[in-house]
Amino acid sequence: MNIEAIDLFCGIGGLSYGLLNAGIKVKAGIDIDKTCKYSFETNCEAPFIDQDIKEISGKKLDRFYSEDSTKILVGCAPCQPFSSYTYKKDKTKDERWQLLYEFARLVKETTPVIVSMENVPTLLNFKKAPVFYDFVKKLEEENYFVLYKIVYAPDYGVPQKRKRLVLLASQLGKIELLPPTHTPDRYLTVKDAIGNLEKINSGESSKNDFIHRASKLSEKNLKRIKQSKPGGSWKKDWDDELKLSCHTSEKGKTYVSVYGRMKWDEPAPTMTTFCTGIGNGRFGHPEQDRAISLREAAILQSFPIDYKFADSVENLKFGQTTKHIGNAVPPKLGEIIGKSIIKHLEDYSYGKK
C-alpha cells in the first residue's frame, strides 16, 4: 500500500517522524511557526509549508498526495487554549480555539481515508464550548468511524508521565489504537533514557553535541538545586533562607515540585515549553547540579539522540528550542499511531474485517 500523510500543525516533526518510523510516507508539514522549518525538513525529509491553516485549501493539500495513495491527514492543533493552565479562562477569545474547525474543513475537502488528531486530555472537558465534540460530529457526518481515548505515554515506551488525547477516524470501519507495549514494571525511566549522557555543568554544553546544553543557574538557584533531593521538594529539603515568599504562601504551598529533581527510577514528569528551567517544574537533573539539557528534554520526549534542532551552535536559540521540544508530539507515540493505521488498513485490505 502507498500510504501518505500530511501533518497539520507539524511543529518540528515529532508526529511525522513517528509516522515515518512506522512506515508511512510524509508528504508535507504545515505550520505557521517558520522557526520549525529546519528541524522538520532536516529530520522528516519533507517540505515545510509556512502558512496559516485558515488560508490553505483542500485542493492545495491534494497536490502533495500521489494519485494512487491512501491519504492520511494528521495533526496536533496548538494545545495552549485547552490546557489546564487556561482551563478557567474564556478560551473562545483565543483564535487558536477555532483551529480544529479548520482541521475539520480540510478533512471534508480532501476526504482522507484516515484522520488522526492528538491533543491534551482537558480538551474533553470543554462542554460549554465543545470544539472537540463538534470535531467528532463533523467527522461522523462525513461517514468516519471515530475512536478517541486518553493515552498514558509510558505505556508506549515514552520515558515521561505524559497523558494525551488521541483520536483515530477511518472511512473503512472501526479503528483501534494498538495495545500498550510496556507494563508499569517495565516503563522506561529517566536513567534508561539519559543515564549515559555526558556530564555537564550548569551553563555548559557538551563538546560532542551542542544540543546537550544546560541553562545557566544563578548563584542562589545553584544553592537550591544542591539542597534538592530526587523526588523531594523545597518544603522539606531547603534551608528557610532559600525558600521563595510566593511559594510559602497558601496558594504557593501547592507547587511542591518546582525547583525539584527528577528520580532516576521513574519516568520523567511531562515535558513542557519551559522544561529546561528548574523554576518551572521538577526539571532538575537527578544527580548533576543543573536543570536538564535540551538534548535530555528531547530524549525524554522520545526523540532520537541524533535529532537535529539547529545546523550550528551559532544558530541554536535555547528558549525557542525548549518551546519546540515541549510542544512536540512524542515520536514514539506518533509511531504507535502510524502502526495502528497500517494494521487497520492491512486488516481491511486483506479481508480480515
Q: Is residue 325 part of a domain?
A: no
Residues in the chain: 353
Q: Checking DSSP bridges between strand 25-31 and strand 3-8, what pairing results, if any?
A: parallel
pLDDT value at residue 235: 75
Q: Is residue 167 part of a domain?
A: yes
CB of 160 closer than 8 Å to CB of 301: yes
pLDDT digits (tens, 9 = 90+) for 282-300: 999 999 999 999 999 999 9
d(CA 210, CA 313): 6
Direct distance between the N- and C-terminal alpha carbons of the chain, in angstroms, rounded to an integer: 17
The residue with greater pLDDT, 88 or 236, is: 236
Tally of structural domains, the chain: 1
- Least Cα distance to 38 among 326, 330, 274, 312 occurs for 312
Which range has the worst mean pLDDT, 52-56, 89-93, 114-118, 324-328?
A: 89-93
d(CA 351, CA 321): 45
pLDDT value at residue 167: 97
The residue with greater pLDDT, 69 or 129, is: 69
Question: Is residue 125 very low, low, confident or very high in pLDDT (cuts 50, 70, 90)?
Answer: confident
- Least Cα distance to 333 among 180, 178, 158 occurs for 158
Q: Is residue 77 part of a domain?
A: yes
Q: Is residue 80 part of a domain?
A: yes
Percent of the chain with pLDDT over 90: 77
- Least Cα distance to 331 among 11, 4, 2 occurs for 11
Question: Of the listed 76, 79, 246, 275, which one is catalytic?
Answer: 79
The residue with greater pLDDT, 98 or 262, is: 262
Mean pLDDT, residues 49-74 taken together: 96
- Least Cα distance to 178 among 347, 9, 351 occurs for 347
Tally of CA atoms within 13 A in the half-sphere of 303 that contains its CB: 28
Q: Is the pLDDT of residue 84 over 70?
A: no
DSSP state letter for 93: G
The residue with greater pLDDT, 209 or 248, is: 209
d(CA 29, CA 11): 8
Tell me the DSSP string of 15-68: HHHHHHHHT-EEEEEEES-GGGHHHHHHHH-S-EEES-GGG--HHHHHTTS-TT
Its domain, for residue 174, covers 3-181+330-349
Question: Is residue 85 very low, low, confident or very high in pLDDT (cuts 50, 70, 90)?
Answer: very low
Average pLDDT over all residues of the chain: 91
pLDDT value at residue 96: 58
Q: Is residue 303 part of a domain?
A: no
Q: Is residue 40 part of a domain?
A: yes
φ/ψ (deg, to 5) at 267: -60, 155
Q: Is the pLDDT of residue 119 over 80?
A: yes
45 φψ region: left (φ > 0), alpha (ψ -120 to 50), beta (else): left
pLDDT digits (tens, 9 = 90+) for 42-61: 999 999 999 999 999 999 99
Q: Is the pLDDT of residue 246 over 70?
A: no
CATH of the domain at 84: 3.40.50.150
Coil/strand/helix, residue 149 = strand
Q: Is-catalytic flag, 246?
A: no
pLDDT digits (tens, 9 = 90+) for 184-242: 999 999 999 999 999 999 999 999 999 999 999 999 999 999 989 898 877 787 877 78
CB of 279 closer than 8 Å to CB of 221: yes
Q: Is residue 21 part of a domain?
A: yes
pLDDT value at residue 88: 53
- Least Cα distance to 302 among 274, 270, 339 occurs for 270
Q: Is residue 217 part of a domain?
A: no
Question: Is residue 350 very low, low, confident or very high in pLDDT (cuts 50, 70, 90)?
Answer: low
- Number of Cβ atoms within 10 Å of the Cβ of 44: 22
pLDDT value at residue 87: 47
- Least Cα distance to 174 among 150, 147, 149 occurs for 147
CA distances to 199, 273, 281, 294 from 207, in Å: 11, 25, 27, 14
pLDDT value at residue 319: 97
pLDDT value at residue 128: 56
d(CA 61, CA 51): 12
